Amino acid sequence: MRTIGLMSGTSLDGVDGVLVDFSQDALSVLAFASCDIPTPLRAELLALNSSADNELHRAALAANALVGLYGTVVQQLLKASGVAPTSIAAIGVHGQTVRHRPGEFDGVGYTLQLNNPALLAERSGIAVVADFRSRDVAAGGQGAPLVPAFHSLFLNSERQRMAVLNIGGISNITLLAPQQAQQSVQGFDCGPGNALLDYWCQKHTGAAFDNGGEWGRMGTVNADLLAHWLKDPFFHQQAPKSTGRDLFNPSWLEASLAHFPTVSPADVQASLTALTAATCADALNQALPGCHRLLVCGGGAFNSLLMEMLQSRLAGCTVASTQSAGLPPLQVEACAFAWLAVQALQGRAGNLPAVTGARGPRVLGAIYPA
Ligand SMILES: Nc1ncnc2c1ncn2[C@@H]1O[C@H](COP(=O)(O)OP(=O)(O)OP(=O)(O)O)[C@@H](O)[C@H]1O
Ligand SMILES: [Mg+2]
């Protein structure tokens, strides 16, 4: 079944898209394309992450603008692969998270991804599946992470004791033990991935991200600052758990730095890199001791300093990019949403209740016919 997956995550860097052919339990990526989010739209999406003036109207317009980018990526995928739109079963599109508050408000929270799936279906002539997270939240779950089922099916062909770590704006981990049934796969959000790293780097160097971790490498990790951050209750919560910019945002960072006024910007960057590494490595060491292999995907896999810090905290575990398992780091999440679209079309569950905490397996997403 040929399907497109589109992912635009909390880093707000861009839209990643894949055109995938699923057959039995194998996948083959026929095309990959990506498109940067233009700076004004990025600024608007960031602003819409907190309460803002006239936000309903602005959110609707931002969603339409996003669909413009989604359409561009879809056209690039069709052109690169030579596949006709009529032979694509669906586009699975995540949308842009602007609020993630599951389990709040008397136990029924919400999660909100800006999107206009009707417009994407209208323009592309392809069926669209969207809003994957809400049904899981309605069933009492976190609505996240939704990728562990995909990780377990497509990144653990040898059925090893291993883990997959996605380092996007937020980081999330999937824990896989040998011969494990899908129902007992574990997974949860670990904390900030690149979101705070990007914010700090942009503020002090003007660059959108710390390429290769080179700026952070010039600094030194401040142990007291790191220890202060690690006290945040989120890191000590038991799974199921998920988070987002609602918690790990510039205010969170700036409030903590007020207690450490003399730490240099480069040292803060080094310490933030260590925070991502420490929270991910601690999660793995606690939840899957003796894990021999960690595959890393998401843009964080390109931050060599972060990869080295992860490796140094995981004795006996080989840390490598998912490229080593045949799937490039920026394609994994997009492939996962293509797979989730297939699940929805076939009326099969996409969530793993053991991961999200939902009351049971649920078919995720709403289908907008071609
Ligand atoms: N060469 C690089 N060096 C360092 N960091 C990089 C590099 N390339 C990408 N990144 C980081 O990866 C981020 C983008 O990662 P990605 O697209 O996986 O995140 P995302 O959009 O939040 O996705 P998701 O929510 O699906 O996990 C960038 O914002 C940047 O911080
Ligand atoms: Mg991205």
pLDDT, tens only, 14-63: 999 999 999 877 899 999 999 999 999 999 999 999 999 999 999 999 99
Residue 156 has pLDDT above 90, yes or no: no
CA distance 25 to 33: 23
**Residues near 75 by beta carbon (within 8 Å), at least 6 away in sequence:** none
Within this chain, domains 2-144+331-368 and 156-325 share the same CATH topology = yes
CA-nearest residue for atom 7, ligand 1, is 302
Residue 166, ligand 1, Cβ within 6 A: yes
Residue 7, ligand 1, Cβ within 6 A: yes
pLDDT at 24: 73
Q: Are the CB atoms for 85 and 124 separated by under 8 Å?
A: yes
- Whether residue 145 is preceded by a cis peptide bond, meaning omega within 30 degrees of 0, is yes
Percent of the chain residues topping a pLDDT of 90 = 93
How far, in Å, from the CA of 87 to the mean position of ligand 1? 31
pLDDT tens digit string along 293-331? 999 999 999 999 999 999 999 999 999 999 999 999 999
The DSSP element (H or E) to which 366 belongs, if any, is strand 366-368
Residue 215, ligand 1, Cβ within 6 A: no
Q: Classify domain 156-325 at the CATH class level.
A: alpha beta
pLDDT at 180: 59
Residue 95 has pLDDT above 80, yes or no: yes
How far, in Å, from the CA of 39 to the mean position of ligand 1? 16
Residue 312, ligand 1, Cβ within 6 A: no
Ranges of each domain in the chain: 2-144+331-368, 156-325
* SS3 call for 299: helix
Residue 302, ligand 1, Cβ within 6 A: yes
Q: Are the CB atoms for 8 and 66 separated by under 8 Å?
A: yes
CA-nearest residue for atom 9, ligand 1, is 299
The DSSP element (H or E) to which 29 belongs, if any, is strand 26-36
Compute the average pLDDT of residues 136-142.
Answer: 96
Q: Is 0.75 surpassed by the pTM of this model? A: yes
The CATH number assigned to the domain with range 2-144+331-368 reads 3.30.420.40
- Report CA dihedral (348, 351, 357, 359) to the nearest 10 degrees: -10
Residue 189, ligand 1, Cβ within 6 A: no
Burial class (CB in 10 A: 0-12, 13-18, 19+), 143: buried
Compute the average pLDDT of residues 72-89.
Answer: 98
pLDDT at 179: 65
CA distance 46 to 315: 37
pLDDT at 128: 98
Q: Ligand 1, residue 11: give the atom nearest the CA.
A: 22
Q: Are the CB atoms for 122 and 87 separated by under 8 Å?
A: no
Residue 211, ligand 1, Cβ within 6 A: yes
CA distance 185 to 193: 22
